[in-house]
Amino acid sequence: MSEPSNWPLSNEALRVRVPNHIISVLSDSVLSKDIFPTAIGYYPNAESHQMKRVEHDDFILIFCVDGKGVLETETYRGEVLRGDLFILPPGTPHQYKADHVQPWTLFWCHFRGALAPAFFEYIKPEDTCLAIRNLNDLKLLSQFNELITSVRACYSFEGFVHVASQLRHIITLIERIKQSKQKEKIGIILPDIHQYMRANLHKGLSLDELASFSHLSKYHFSRKYLEMTGYSPQQHFIHFKIEHACLLLEQVDISISDVAFSLGYDDALYFSRVFRKVMHLSPSQYRKSLLDELQGSKIRA
C-alpha cells in the first residue's frame, strides 16, 4: 500500500489507513472489488505538509479546497490552487508541498481495484500535469465532506463498502463537473437553453434566438449543440413540444386543435404531421392508445 505522509494531525484532521485484512476482503467482494480506498484523509490548513515518493502502488487523488501548494512530477512542476484536483497513477515519481504563506486544505484518497485504471482513464486530464483545474463546486465539496464523515464512523467491512461506493460516486461526479466546465467554456450551457425552450413551447424559436445564449455564431452554435446532444437545436425544441403535447393529450377534454394551438401551431394538420414524425402515431391514435390502456387497466383491476 502507498503510505500517506506523517503530517502531524490537528483536532479536525483525519488520516485513516484501511487495515490489511479489510483491504483483502474489499478486493475479493463483488460489492467493492472494482474500486476501493486503501487510505483516506482530510488535512485542513496543512502548514508544512509535504510528501515525496519515488514509487507507489495505489492511485492517489488529492483535492485542494483552500490555500495552495506545489506539485512536481517527471513531466510537470507547478502550482496547485483552490479548486484543483490531481490524480497520480501507480508508479508516478512525485513530490508536493503546501505553500508556506497560504497552506492548502486537502481531501485525499489512495485507492485501487479491478476497475481503478478504467476510472482513472475516465477522469484523467489531457495534459501532463495530471491536474484538473477549477473544480470549485458545492456538490463535490459536500460529497467529500460526507466521505470523511463516513470514514470517521468506519469500524467494519460494511462501513468501508459504503465508503467505496461513495468514492465511485465522487469520481463520476468529477467527470460530470469537468464536462460541464468545458461546455461553459464554449458558451453552451444546456440547462439554461433547455429551460428557455420549455418556457417558450407556445411559440416558435429561431436559431438566432437560441444561439443568443452563447458567444458563438448560429452556425457554430448549431454544430456544437448537435455534438453535445445528438440533435440539432430545432429538432430538440420540437421534441420538447411533442413531449408536452403527449401530456396534454392525456386530458380528453382538450381538442387536438387546442393542443396544436397551445404549442404554437396554427395548422392542426401540420401539427399532426410533426407529431407523427416523432411518435410514429397521429395525435388521435396516441390518445386512443392511452384510453385503451386505461380501460384495460380497469378491467384487470
How far is 241 from 274, CA to CA, in rounded Å?
Answer: 10
CA torsion through residues 254, 257, 260, 264, sign? negative
Cα–Cα distances in Å, from 236 out to 179, 198, 272? 20, 11, 17
Return the CATH number at 97.
2.60.120.280
- Contact predicate 214/233, CB 8 Å: no
Q: Is residue 6, in this structure, part of any structural domain at all?
A: no
pLDDT, mean of residues 234-241:
95
Q: Is 297 exposed, middle or buried (0-12, 13-18, 19+ CB in 10 A)?
A: exposed
Using N-to-C axis directions, what is the helix angle for 20-28 and 157-185, rounded to 10°?
A: 70
How far is 244 from 261, CA to CA, in rounded Å?
Answer: 13
- 137 Cβ contact partners less than 8 Å away, ≥ 6 residues apart: 177
- Given a cut of 70, whether residue 19 has pLDDT beyond it is yes
Chosen domain end from 184, 200, 222? 184
pLDDT in tens, 102-139: 999 999 999 999 999 999 999 987 667 788 888 888 89
Return the CATH number at 227.
1.10.10.60
- Given a cut of 60, whether residue 171 has pLDDT beyond it is yes
pLDDT in tens, 183-236: 666 667 788 888 889 999 999 998 988 888 777 788 888 988 898 888 999 999
pLDDT in tens, 251-284: 888 999 999 999 999 999 999 999 999 999 999 9
CA torsion through residues 108, 113, 116, 119, sign? negative
* 136 and 32 belong to one structural domain: yes
- Domain coverage including residue 256: 190-300
DSSP state string for 26-70: HHH-TTTTTSEEEEEEEETT-TT-EEEES--SSEEEEEEEESBEE
* 161 and 198 belong to one structural domain: no
Q: Is residue 116, in this structure, part of any structural domain at all?
A: yes
The letter for the amino acid at 37 is P
Q: Is residue 2, in this structure, part of any structural domain at all?
A: no
* 223 and 177 belong to one structural domain: no
Confidence grade of residue 285 (pLDDT, cut at 50, 70, 90) = very high
- 227 Cβ contact partners less than 8 Å away, ≥ 6 residues apart: none
CA torsion through residues 58, 59, 65, 71, sign? positive
* 124 and 56 belong to one structural domain: yes
Question: 63: closest CA among 109, 106, 94?
Answer: 106
* 108 and 30 belong to one structural domain: yes
How far is 89 from 222, CA to CA, in rounded Å?
Answer: 38
Q: Specify the pLDDT at position 155.
A: 86
Residue with cell string 508556506: 100
Least trusted range by pLDDT, from 53-62, 91-100, 210-219, 261-270 = 210-219
Q: Starting at the edge strand that comes first in sequence, how are the strands of the sheet with 14-17 ordered? A: 14-17, 36-43, 105-112, 59-66, 85-88, 131-132
* 101 and 155 belong to one structural domain: yes
- In degrees, rounded to 5, the angle at the alpha carbon of residue 88 between the alpha carbons of residues 86 and 91 is 165
* 229 and 286 belong to one structural domain: yes
Chosen domain end from 152, 184, 216? 184
Chosen domain end from 157, 184, 211? 184
* 174 and 240 belong to one structural domain: no
Q: Which residues of 124-154 are buried (b: 16+ CB within 10 A; e: fewer)?
A: eeeeebbbbbebebeebeebbeebbebbeeb
Q: Is residue 5, in this structure, part of any structural domain at all?
A: no
* 196 and 254 belong to one structural domain: yes
DSSP character at residue 198: H
Q: Specify the pLDDT at position 189.
A: 76
Question: 184: closest CA among 125, 151, 224, 155?
Answer: 224
**What is the total count of domains within the chain?**
2
Q: Is the pTM of this model over 0.85?
A: no
Q: Is residue 111, in this structure, part of any structural domain at all?
A: yes
